[in-house]
Every structure is written in structure tokens, then in C-alpha cells.
Amino acid sequence: MHLTHLSLTNFRNYVRLELSLPDRLTVLQGANAQGKTNLLEAIHLLATARTPRAAAERELINWLALESPLPYARLVGETGEGRDAEKLELVLELASNGGSNGPVVRKQVRVNGAARRAIDLVGRLRVVLFLPEDVDLVAGAPGERRRYLDIALCQIAPTYCRALGEYNRVVTQRNALLRQLRDFGGDQGQLAFWDGQMAEHGSVLIHRRGTAIRDLDRLAADRHAGLTSGSERLHVGYLPSPDPDVLIGARSGAQIAAQRQRLAEARPAYAAVSQDEVRERFLAALCGSHAREIAAGASLLGPHRDDMAFTVDGRDLRPFGSRGQQRTAALALKLAEVQLMREETGESPLLLLDDVMSELDEIRRHALLDALAGVDQAIVTTTDWGDFSPELLGQARTLRVERGTLLLVEPVL
Ligand SMILES: Nc1ncnc2c1ncn2[C@@H]1O[C@H](COP(=O)(O)OP(=O)(O)OP(=O)(O)O)[C@@H](O)[C@H]1O
Ligand SMILES: [Mg+2]
């Protein structure tokens, strides 16, 4: 589904924006701090109901608007054409919650004019966004990688998204029970119900993550070979919790080492295991870990503890990769995600690349531009027109952003 039009009101430094978008490539140029990333952030927010940057939601509302009596930001995206056309609308409203915690941001979502839940936005306009800080996907904490997987898979599969919501709710409630059992004692039999719920919803997540990462491994290796002229072999691997090879017990140092060894040998976890089988194994692992979980007052096993790892030629990129290697791996992963979405949904997502060229050497730039040729719709930002060839710019819509205002321009080379 293409994004054909974007309207923004009071979103970050865009007080008012009306932008029509072409099918193919848009290149957005601007100096630092003019609104390049903000524009991509707005599109990501409309597509996923989540901000890509770990910002507080009230930061999204324009500062001047925050001083008005009813501060709000409004984002509207139009997608598709003819009978497939849809209008996606998200309003962020700063509202007093009546309590002492100060104002909260309320999200209101409409699809074709009808009120919906935020989760109903997801999957209508699929996007893949690459930001400079996405190097942290490889180098950062496991939570970043789980967030990445969740955003990608929610866009692909509504069942995943529903299971994720249920799973998170179950973990919160099970944790509360574990804390209660730790602090006040009581009947441990109460855990059985929550074990069942956790295994039920968690197995959807584990199974889906397992197959997606197996596919991403294949696709990213290809992209990565292109980016590195075939000189390095990338593996993307799933480090699930609980480990399928060890039924009982949380991940110890030795287990993590074993998982990484399996990864180095490119044996995907849960590869040939059905979802029912995953559920059974997960349930067995949960039943065997009650004592430790009560002592900890927290759920120690499950996809909320998952991780994924990136290796190049058998070496783990997190501790050993150079910054450039980590960045290239993250970029290969995102390009693989574009292809995964196309394979899974039959449609190419909108690719959003923020300031990616400046960090790449000449070979990687060429490979990236080759990859762009296979994408239906893309928006790419840059500070410098010189990052792109005149031929490519000749085929693109070229825009310039200055302090939250967009202008159609001829690139200055
Ligand atoms: N809520 C807000 N209201 C008004 N302005 C904001 C708000 N949030 C951020 N800004 C401003 O938006 C400006 C543009 O930010 P953005 O991150 O899009 O810049 P950029 O063009 O991507 O720059 P760079 O090249 O440095 O990455 C910044 O000056 C920032 O201070
Ligand atoms: Mg930026």
C-alpha cells in the first residue's frame, strides 16, 4: 500500500504540512535540525502507532501548541487508490487525567473516519524505517531487538499483535502473583492458570519469531553480501527463552554460550518445531521453575526474555564488531525486512531511510542504491545532495526542508 498524502498539524516542528507523495522515490534534503527525521517519525507513528525514538509522547506535540488551552497534534495519512484507498488518522491530545501525575497524552485513532483502537492502525500502511541510531539494534540491549521484532511482526501478522498484547498482560499479572507468593506465601497451585495462559500466547510469539528470524537470516545474508561485496557472511540467529534444547531452567551463562554456539553453526532454534510443541515445551519449563520464580518475584522464562544475535564469519558482532560492521548488519537486516514483508504480505512496504548515505563508503552506497531499485516506494533523507547520483535524483521527487516547511526544489549539485 502506498502512502499518497500526509498531513501534519502541530507535530514536532511541523506546525502545518500538506504533502503529496509519488509512488517511487522521494529524496528529502535539509541541514541539521530542520525536520528530516521528524517527518519519517510521523509516518512511522501512523503506520505502527509507535514512535521509533524512545521519546515521551508529549514531546511529539509542537512546543508552541503545548501552550494553547487544548494542545494536540494531528497526523493524517492517505494510502492506496480507488477502492483500496484508506484514510488513517491519529490525534495526540494532552489531557489532564484528574490525578496528581500531570497531563497525559491521549491517542485517538480513526480509520476512514470511524473511531478505532491504536492497534487497528497497524498493518494498513507497512513501513520499514532505518535511523542512524539503529546500529543499536546490533550493539544495544536485548529489549531493543525485541521491540524491533514486535514492530516488524505486528505489521505482518495481526495474530502476532493480539498475542503480544495478551502475553504482556499475562506476564504482568503472573509477576504480581509471584511477588505475592514470595512476600505473603499462599497456594502455588494458583500459578497453573497463568502458566497455561503464558504458554498459550507466548508460544505464538516464539513460533513466529523463530520462523521470521530464520527467513531474515537467509534474506539478510544476501543483502549483507551485496553491501560487503561478498567478503563477509552474516548470520542472524534467535536466542529464545526458554531454550528449546533445555527444558527446565532459566538461561545460565553456559546455556547462552551453547545457544551462541548453535548460532555459529547456523542451526536455527525451534526451526522444525510446531507451535503446539513449542507450547508444550514452554509449559513444562514454566512448571519446573516455580521455586526460582517465586524467589525472584518475577517471570524468568518466556519471550519477554528473548534475544537475537548477529555474527559475521562466526564472530558475535555485539562485542567484537566494529561500528561500521554493526551498522552494515543493521542495514542488511532492515533491507531483509522489506523483502520478508513482501514475501509474507504480497506487498512491498514503504522504506524510510534516514541519513544513511553519509555513513557508508562508496561500495556500500552503490549496493544500497541497487537495493532501492527493488523497492516500490521509499523516502530517503540527506544533508547533502551529493550523496546521490544525478541519474537517481532525476528519477526522484526532490524536496528540501527548512524549519518544518517543505519546498519542492531542483537539487543543487
Ligand atoms: N515538539 C517539538 N516542537 C517543536 N520543535 C521540535 C519538537 N520536537 C523536536 N523539535 C525540533 O525539531 C527540529 C528538527 O528535528 P529533526 O530531528 O527532524 O532534525 P533533522 O533534520 O533530522 O536533523 P539532523 O540532520 O541533525 O538529523 C529540532 O530542532 C528539534 O529541536
Ligand atoms: Mg535527523
Q: 3-126+349-408, what's its fold?
A: Rossmann fold (3.40.50)
Contacts 24+ apart (CB under 8 A), 272-280: 273/207, 273/210, 273/244, 274/207, 275/203, 275/204, 275/207, 276/203, 278/203, 278/206, 278/207, 278/210, 278/244, 279/199, 279/200, 279/202, 279/203, 280/199
Instruction: Please tell me if the CB atom of residue 29 comes closer than 6 angstroms to any atom of ligand 1.
Output: no
Q: What pLDDT is recorded for position 369?
A: 84
- pLDDT for 177 equals 98
| Torsion angle in degrees (nearest 10) through CA of 283, 302, 169, 211 | -100
Q: Is 12 in the pocket of ligand 1 (CB under 6 A)?
A: yes
Average per-residue pLDDT for the chain: 91
> What does each C-alpha distance from 55 to 11, 12, 22, 49, 303 come to in angstroms?
13, 12, 29, 13, 24
Pocket probe for ligand 1: among 10, 14, 29, 37, the residue whose CB has the most ligand atoms within 8 Å is 37
Tell me the three state secondary structure of residue 108: strand
Task: Supply the pLDDT for residue 11.
Answer: 98
pTM for the predicted model, two decimal places? 0.92
Which residue is it, cell 548460532? 263
- Taking CA atoms, 258 is separated from 137, 194, 254, 261, in Å, by 22, 29, 6, 5
Ligand in closest contact with the CA of 63: 1
Look at residue 367 in the predicted model and tell me its pLDDT: 83
The mean pLDDT value for 155-184 works out to: 97
Mutate-to-test residue for ligand 1 from 11, 34, 59, highest number of ligand atoms within 8 A of CB: 34
CATH class name, domain 136-323? mainly alpha
Q: How far is the CA of 35 from the centre of ligand 1 (A)?
A: 5
| Domain range annotation of the chain | 3-126+349-408, 136-323
Which tens digits make up the pLDDT trace of 59-82? 999 999 999 999 999 999 999 999
Q: What is the pLDDT of residues 129-160, one digit of tens each?
A: 999 999 999 999 999 999 999 999 999 999 99
Better pLDDT: 228 or 98:
228
Q: Provide the percentage of residues in the chain whose pLDDT is more than 70.
A: 92
